[in-house]
Amino acid sequence: MMNFFSAVKPLAALMMLTLVGLIVNAQEPLPCGQPGAQADFDAAHPGAAAEREADEQSARASAQALLERGAQDSELYIIPVVFHVIHDNGEENISDAQIFDAMEILNADFRKLNADTGQIVAGFVDIAADIDVEFRLAKRDPLGNCHSGINRLQDPLTYEGNNEMKQLIHWPRESYMNVYVAASAAGAAGYTNYPSDWGANTDGIVLKHDYVGSIGTSNAYRSRTLTHECGHWLNLPHTWGSSNNPNEEDNCEVDDGVEDTPLCLGSPVGFCDPERTTCGSLDNVQNYMEYSYCSRMYTLGQRARMRAALNNSTADRDELWTPQNIENTGVLEEELLCRAEFTVDRNVVCLGNPVQFVDASFFGITGWSWDFGDGTTLEGTSELEQNPSRVFSEAGEFEVYLTVSNESGSVTSQDPVVIRVLDDGMLPSPLVEGFESATGPWSEGQWEVQTLDGQAWQIRETTGYSGARSLYVRNRQNEGGEITRVTSTTYDAAGMASLFISYKYAYSHRTTGETDDRLKLQVSKDCGDTWNTRQFHRGIIDLPTAEDHGGNFYPSGTDEWTGHIEEVTNDIYMVPNLRVRFEFESKGGNNVFLDDINVYGVDSLGNVQSFVDDMAPNDLSLDVFPNPSEGQATVAAFWPGSDAELDVRDATGRLVYQEKLLGNGGRRVTLNGLAPGVHFIGLTSGNRHTVQRLLVLR
């Protein structure tokens, strides 16, 4: 037979089908992305495709030799497997149970133990094969440490599911089959490449999370994706050949390199007709390398071809099942109690909100004992104690430990997981943040920096809009696509009619060209579970504040800064645990700076939030008119007792006018030349305060 990478067999009789109504929903991913991934791989590694084609005859000869051995070729090959779950704290962070389920299905399929073998049509019952290959989760990592065989890593590349994602973590392919679970598998349900001596650091299988196993985010209909991709990983093409185009007339001329899989057009996605005949003989529609979604079997010829791949040094497949590697990866070791570990759905939570703890310990655990660090413990043997949901009753930072046990003993987690519980209204009100040393919320640890990639928000000691310091990102060292965030603790906005958030920022492009870097102001009404973007500054619109800089940009004066005032009036954000976040996404521009963050809450009477509690004995009177004004306004102030003080501040908190009001009684003051925007007119007498808001039109 000729190479399956070229057309070889004569055209047989065709039976073409009308497919209207049979194609799966267009939103569903392709069943397999192997052909596209293989094309990208070959483009990245010139010579790989030619080498693969040159080795094809040898692969067929090796498979034929194994077929001729018959029952003598019965050695059980065990393949160590490691799962890398790449997630962004979404549903793609599938459970261990879903991975275990996927492994059970994979092994049943490869050992012909799947319950649906009884449904194989008569024409293929006699050649349905037990591959004599089993897959086992690793129990030791590449350094020999005890391991569950499951890694979890948070990264936004989960939405790409590409080769770059594989670079985040990759275990040696001569020791493990790497399986990646992600939010996306590059537009497919799954994909991998044929064995190759090229691209060792991208060798592995990528699966979209909802095509893993039959439970959790997946279902039984999608559960054979891993079986299908393992076929490719062991050098099997689709039954119609090495393309992603089933049901095409030319497929009758393309061989898949396996003697006992008949020439066929290939089933359209999701079309299951076990009696289908397309190229003059009965199609093997129920083959795992079909798109019919009614797969039941591999053939004896496919068995030989996959076992030939495992006996070949290409891609180090012959190293995987050696006794030394089986010992190194620990796959046959007893499930002895080894490590206490757990995960949480959040490390920062507001008072009254739950934290979900999920046990990730191994192996053979029968009992769990939790120390939540706040004086409370939980102990037991049920699922409730294994994966508890905990509501902390007080604010603070708590170190949580887990001790797991079975009949052989117990072990405690080595490093604590720290849970920070935020109280309501932790930030001062009004909030004035200038990032100066030893003053303000930054110095008190009330801002948290989270960097997904690249350079982080950090203090610049010698550059500020006001004062000496500011927050900045050394963006000139980023290449593009990096994201860093700075997030506040809680601000008490309960009962407010509106909230004002103001800040100063500075940024410039590089002289090499305009970029579309992004600075976002975001607020959260639910303590950080969800975020709403209130302001979006873009590099191609309003982010630049200075001329392009060839070197590192550091603003030389206030004229290279600008500011923004955001008014929030939606009642859903007037909560006692509002949080504020600034997110910067690099697109390859220059440094960006942030300074003078101020937050004011104003009630329905125009009172600034911080003064509301002091107004109980409110015998002060303050009227401002006209309001809104066009730059000029009259203030009528009345107070009992001796002396008062009138001050005017803009929405950033900057004092723009101040006057002593002597004596007892009242006074009218005319304000002129006020800049457009929001101003706060304050009257103070003794320990009493009142404030009115004045809007100056632009």
| 112: three-class secondary structure by DSSP | coil
38 in Cβ contact with 44 (< 8 Å): no
Q: How much of the chain is in helix, strand and coil states, percent to nearest 5?
A: 20, 30, 50
Q: Confirm if 534 and 568 have CB atoms less than 8 A apart.
A: yes
Closest CA to 169 of 184, 157, 182, 151: 151
Complete edge-to-edge strand list for the sheet that includes strand 621-625? 621-625, 633-639, 665-671
Please tell me the distance from the alpha carbon of residue 422 to that of residue 577, in angstroms, as a whole number.
8
Q: Is 446 helix (H, G, I), strand (E, B) or coil?
A: coil
Q: Do 412 and 401 meet the contact criterion of CB atoms below 8 Å apart?
A: yes
Which residues, in sequence order, are CB contacts of 497 under 8 Å at separation 6+? Answer: 569, 574, 602, 603, 604
Residues marked as catalytic: 229
* CA-atom Rg of the chain in angstroms: 33
350: tokens are: 């507001």
Nearest CA among 425, 429, 435, 695 for reference residue 565:
695
Distances (CA, A) of 305 to 61, 73, 236, 311: 9, 12, 7, 10
| CA–CA dist 605, 602 (Å, integer) | 8
Omega before 80 cis (within 30°)?
Answer: no
Sign of CA dihedral 674, 680, 683, 687: negative
Identify the H or E element spanning 405. Answer: strand 396-406
Beta bridge mates, 483? 585
Q: Do 102 and 217 form a contact (C-beta atoms < 8 A)?
A: no
Please give the Cα distance from 478 to 592 (Å, whole number).
12
Q: Pairing relation of β-strands 396-406 and 633-639?
A: unpaired
Edge-to-edge strand ranges of the sheet holding 655-661: 655-661, 644-650, 677-685, 688-696
